[in-house]
Amino acid sequence: MVKLVVAYGQPEDPAGFDEHYVSRHIPLVEKIPNLRRFESGKVVGTPDGSAPPFYYLAELSFDDVEQLQAAMGSPEGEAAGADVATFASGGATLMIAQT
Amino acid sequence: MVKLVVAYGQPEDPAGFDEHYVSRHIPLVEKIPNLRRFESGKVVGTPDGSAPPFYYLAELSFDDVEQLQAAMGSPEGEAAGADVATFASGGATLMIAQT
């Protein structure tokens, strides 16, 4: 399995981020073809109490890298990707992890 | 559900990291009580081809924050945590995410 991990930096407007994420971004992600699993969650802290480096984490799982690339290049994948720029005011770090 | 996400920085000796992770660290993690799911994987790239900020990602899932804290404070959790310092030469960033 392969995952696209999206690590969002601290946004300027956390409440606006949260609202947009749930009401607009998740529905776009759920339309992405070949998506095997989608999980996302807010970073609530760190074990040692230090400031966490990211605000929100999401992961999109696919069968393999080819399926991931095809999915993210599809109209639905491009729509979800384009949406990120509209609310991720703290930036978004994307990584592909092979599990 | 709550996840402990561990993001490992680039190690000085990637082959040594990989060997230790599979042969010694995973067996320690699998002994942690209350662990609902454990997934880990190597970061193989980024969608835009830029250098990824982390080398390896792991996530340990628990039912809630209380279970996570109890698990990581158990002898098995402390053993797995102490082991990290023996191989994570590129550092390890830990975050707790509420999904």
Contacting residues of B for A2, CB less than 8 Å apart = 41, 44
* ipTM for this prediction: 0.94
| Alpha carbon distance A98, A74 (integer Å) | 21
The predicted structure's pLDDT at residue A82: 97
CA distance A68 to A6: 14
Q: How far is Cα B53 from Cα B46, in angstroms, rounded to an integer?
A: 9
- The pLDDT of residue B41 is 97
A40: left (phi over 0), alpha (psi -120 to 50) or beta: beta
Could you give the angle at the alpha carbon of A86 between the alpha carbons of A27 and A25, nearest 5°?
A: 10
Task: Tell how strand A56-62 and strand A92-98 pair up.
Answer: unpaired
pLDDT in tens, B17-64: 999 999 999 999 999 999 999 999 999 999 999 999 999 999 999 999
pTM: 0.96
Specify the pLDDT at position A46: 95
CB A95 to CB B65 under 8 A?
Answer: no
Tens digits of per-residue pLDDT, B8-19?
999 999 999 999
Tell me A88's DSSP state: -
Cβ of B4 within 8 Å of Cβ of A47? The answer is: yes
pLDDT score at A27: 98
Give the per-residue pLDDT at A18: 98
